[in-house]
Structure 1
């Protein structure tokens, strides 16, 4: 009796434990999506020489207990993730791969073309970056090679190597042309590579707050502003730092736990206090750091300047004009930054409330800018209408030279634009290919008629070439005396086309020197560095910078032409 009881008890416990285990298994079950696969050909097409084999491969993901089948002409020819196709007759063949799994099925088709001759194909980028005095290896990544294949690297008009890898090395900053020729028994392929040789950059972080930077300024911390009750998103400009970098933020020496991205959302709590914000980036074992001061100013509106009977429709003061190099810059060796500013100020002084707005400055290539101020605060009407306008001289949709608009409040009440700046979003904000916190170094030429070298914060090198129709003009702002100066902002990319008539298409809305629809700019579109709304009630200062890249033989560089800023509601009252 006791044995029977013991047996039943053990059996019951076994069932209970098994039940608990089963429940645990159900709780830990991982949801799996539908199965899928990709071929080892991005296009889904293959070429093979008659009598040769080519592997057709798939990469499978999210398949539970999968079964594979390659089918050709309705027959299963392989049951693995690879099928070696042999070219037995000239022409096109279609092969299907089917994946059946517990969580679903999927089938796709590829095309294999059998040819009698198959020349090699080189797969190399047309541009690359190398560093001064440091060797860089270029490997010949090719398709359709065999035992007859030969390699030939040419540089400066001479054959320099017959290996599949060439070690390139140059000491001087420039763009060098390298050529690779690959030959097999069926043909030849040739690829040219432009190698930009630049100084090896050490990781660099800095805050710019909408103004240019020279080497001597990089170790000097700037001060930004934030009214009590509001917040500001900080984000440094970076050079030679990847998107995978990890950031550490400190406020008055205290590490901010969990804040590891390039953006730091800061809310000051003590009016009148100036906070020290330190940031360090760590990237592949290297580090860079910088700091910025944030002054907590009185609440928004404290320094608001109401419209009076004497207020002007147009922005009436130019605080700074810093052009990028360009064919219409025209500053000689004896001129100063004040001469540049006065060029714009003189044009502003000629405007009155009855003037028709006309463009007053060519800002040069990407990043060139001016900063203008109103004699009153321009309010956001809160109704979604345009608050102010700035025009250029676009020639229809196919020739625009778009400029990006930034705005600022006089948050510290000192009457100058040393406060925090906010970009006005446009139709392209946040789209692929649009780069915020973009930066470009323009190097000072050694002679007036030299092309101007530039290097961006991703290491891309370019030369601003002199336009044949303006060969004598002073392309560089010679009052910039240091080795280089850095311009920062948002890069709208390159829409420049040189096939046939040179064109540079505009965007839907939100930019100067563009066919804007709707017309004008709204203060409500001001954004923080991370794209979130800035929620400004009014502005006092406006900045415009050239936002696009590109240059052509006939028209030269893309360069924003900009007017003064105009208060639209005040204009309507006059």
Structure 2
């Protein structure tokens, strides 16, 4: 019995040690998961101004700190031990204050500058451009710094003073750009700012199929036709506006509901060669619905319209079908120019033997594109080697303006790129923050010098600002005469950095105007809308579009520049 109790005691002790060590490991894991501590100040610049005799609050916003201790130091002396220090302006001039954070998981210290002045006029922080919806009231609050009990506000609109409150209510029915003026006054001075308000219709749920080309409002109710060779499949996925990711979809083929098909992607395999199928999709999202229609033509088997290389074949894609730029500082198609004029800027370069060493055009901001055609079909070598290449003008990894490549076969044999398009995956495909089926609606400005308003299909609003170094360029392609035009594709996100020298870092591989490793593009990388392999044996057409967002003060917007496409195997034989 004594031996049995000893064994039980030893087992209990071992169990306690195991539990304790496991708990210790858990504690360590929690510390690791906490990461390193950090903080930011309530001044983005780390600089503060205060009027003599007044106080300014220096605030540190702390994150990821385990058991933190705070210290504010001024001239080497501790002046506060909280996240907030109230600095009193007693002597004119500059002072420097350090905030230190000490925690179990690390320490960090940063410095701010406080300038004490004898006069401190107000500063308006409102953006110079805003968006409102037709017939819906929008409130503008006078976001300002350095206000006190003497501060007054004055809002003007249409040449008349309309309010003396800090908040102004604005409403207009018609699409246009309207100008508000805000005047803020305190005992030390005045600040005035104009706010240009773009009034647009409220976004409503919208579905449509684009097949890699631009879309105008007048085109939204017209169904396009896509192609699919007999024996293959095509994944259909509409572009959506004002529809959430939680929407439920209903798909119909020639009027018959497709059971179990409720996602935004529909994998369709036609079975009758020569038949054109009518496919309808309806999205239901929080009680709201939107519908779209597309036709799918079942074409002859893949390879029927393959075009062999001849002695006269060019290894350069030598015909431009379309050039639709996004707005940008190097886009100069004023009133009177046409889409054909834009196309011919590229075609003339190709006709004169250019397009290989340099680039054909700047595509403008996100979504701008061109479509090129080879005079023969470019085969998928299937050997892991690149099938074709397209270059740009990147300046090392720190300055790339990446474009996504799309490819298409002449599946219906008419020689026109009106067939189904497939994206070439790159190193970022499928990663968080990369958006397939992205769309941007560019609104036509009401005046040539205005910034260009855009809205994406998630409802995000932005303005493409005019670059100070190119103030007289066209920016908007004025041959787009309707209220707006929509560009679609893949968004690689924003790599743009403006700290010091403006940079836009590239990606590992798979993009135009990028430092790619490996070099070149493989037809094997063509994917369907759901990311599955397209399994193309060859291609006839190539499209490139600007795929990154970003805008700087010096360099302007990120804009892909691309050469023509080069058939690498045919070039090697020439």
Please report how far the alpha carbon of residue 258 of structure 1 lies from its aligned counterpart in structure 2 after TM superposition: 0.8
Partner of 1:275: 277
**Hey, what does 2:319 align to over in structure 1?**
317
1:249 corresponds to which residue? 251
- Tell me the residue number matched to 2:433: 433
Q: Provide the secondary structure at the position in 2 that maps to 1:359.
A: coil
Deviations 1:192-214 (A, max 9, x none): xx999753111111000000000
Instruction: Provide, for residues 337-380 of structure 1, a one-character-per-residue CA deviation record: whole Å limited to 9, x for no partner.
Output: 1111111111111227xx85221111011000000000011111
Q: What SS class does the counterpart of residue 360 from structure 2 fall into?
A: strand
SS of 2:569's equivalent? helix
Determine the structure 2 residue equivalent to 1:546.
546
In the other structure, the counterpart of 1:559 is 559
Q: Is contact 2:282–2:290 with CA below 8 Å preserved after alignment?
A: yes
Q: Does 1:568 align with 2:568?
A: yes
Matched residue SS, 2:283: strand
Matched, 1:416 2:416: yes
Tell me which residue corresponds to 2:512: 512
CA distances 1:509-562 after superposition (whole Å, capped 9, x unpaired): 100001111110000000000111101011000000000111111111111001
User: What is the CA–CA distance in structure 1 between the aligned matches of 2:316 and 2:176, rounded to whole Å?
Assistant: 45
Match of 1:383 in 2: 383
User: Residue 479 of structure 2 corresponds to which residue in structure 1?
Assistant: 479
Quick one: distance in 2 between partners of 1:169 and 1:234?
Answer: 40
Q: Distance in 1 between matches of 2:443 and 2:197?
A: 18
Cross-structure match for 1:285 = 287
Conserved? CA contact 1:215–1:482, under 8 Å: yes
Deviations 1:226-257 (A, max 9, x none): 00000000000011111111111000000001
Deviates more, 1:441-450 or 1:478-487: 441-450
Against the structure 1 CA distance between its residues 279 and 438, is the aligned structure 2 distance closer, same or farther, given a 3 Å change threshold?
same
Query: Aligned to 1:373, what secondary structure does the other structure show?
Result: strand
TM-score (norm 1): 0.70
Q: Residue 216 of structure 1 aligns to a residue in which SS?
A: helix
Partner Cα separation in structure 1 for residue 273 and residue 340 of structure 2? 35
Following superposition of structure 1 onto structure 2, how do residues 328-343 of structure 1 map, counting pairs within 5 Å?
A: 328-343=330-345
The total of aligned residue pairs comes to 446
Structure 1 CA distance for aligned equivalents of residues 179 and 35 of structure 2: 31
1:43–1:129 Cα change, 3 Å: farther
Quote the Cα distance in structure 1 between the aligned partners of 2:139 and 2:218: 35
User: Pick from 221, 224, 227: which aligns with 1:225?
Assistant: 227
Instruction: Classify 1:128/1:330 alpha carbon distance in 2 versus 1 (closer, same or farther; 3 Å).
Output: closer
Q: How far off is 1:175 after superposition?
A: 11
List gaps (5 residues or longer) in structure 1. Answer: 1-33, 47-71, 73-89, 93-108, 112-125, 140-149, 180-193
Alignment-derived partner of residue 502 in structure 2: 502
CA drift of 1:169 comes to 6.4
Pairs within 5 Å for 1:138-153: none
Query: Judging changes above 3 Å, is the alpha-carbon distance between structure 1 residues 244 and 437 closer, same or farther for their aligned structure 2 residues?
Result: same
Structure 1 counterpart SS, 2:539 = strand
Change (3 A) 1:305 1:516: same
Q: Which moved more, 1:476-485 or 1:218-227?
A: 476-485
1:80-99 alignment runs, 5 A limit: none
CA 154–241 in structure 1, closer or farther in 2 if over 3 Å, else same: farther
Secondary structure at the aligned position of 2:371 is classed as strand
Alpha-carbon distance in 1 for matches of 2:551, 2:514: 17
Q: Report the equivalent of 1:357.
A: 357
In structure 2, runs of 5+ residues without a counterpart are: 1-25, 40-66, 68-79, 83-103, 107-126, 142-148, 157-162, 183-195
SS in 2 for 1:342: helix
Work out whether residues 356 and 566 of structure 2, in 8 Å CA contact, stay in contact via their aligned partners in 1: no
Q: 2:240 aligns with which of 238, 251, 276?
A: 238
Which residue of structure 2 aligns with residue 199 of structure 1?
A: 201
How much has 1:132 moved relative to structure 2? 4.0
SS of equivalent to 2:441:
strand
**Does the 8 Å CA contact 1:178/1:195 hold for their aligned counterparts?**
no
Contact 1:132 1:173 in 2 (8 A): no
CA–CA distance in 1 between the matches of 2:445 and 2:169? 30
The whole-number CA distance in structure 2 between the counterparts of 1:218 and 1:372 is: 25
Q: Tell me, yes or no, if the aligned pair for 1:307 and 1:376 is still in contact at 8 Å.
A: yes
Secondary structure at 1:545's aligned position in 2?
Answer: strand
Could you say which residue in structure 1 is the equivalent of 2:468?
A: 468
Root mean square deviation of aligned Cα:
3.8
**Offset, 1:479:** 1.0
Equivalent residues of 1:153, 1:178 under 8 A apart: no
Tell me the equivalent position of 1:14: none
C-alpha separation in 1, matches of 2:508 and 2:176: 38
Q: Secondary structure, in 3 states, of the residue corresponding to 1:275?
A: strand
1:405 is matched with which residue? Answer: 405
CA deviations 1:283-340 (Å, max 9, x no partner) are 1111111100000000001111111211101001000000011111111211111111
Q: 1:358 and 1:300, CA in 2 relative to 1: closer, same or farther beyond 3 A?
A: same
Structure 1 residues 228 and 356: CA distance shift in structure 2, 3 A:
closer
How far, CA to CA, are the matches of 2:479 and 2:170 in structure 1?
37
Residue matched to 1:395: 395
- Distance in 2, Cα, partners of 1:409 & 1:451: 38
Following TM superposition, the consecutive aligned residue runs of length 4 or more in structure 1 with deviations greater than 2 angstroms are: 41-46, 126-139, 152-162, 166-179, 194-199
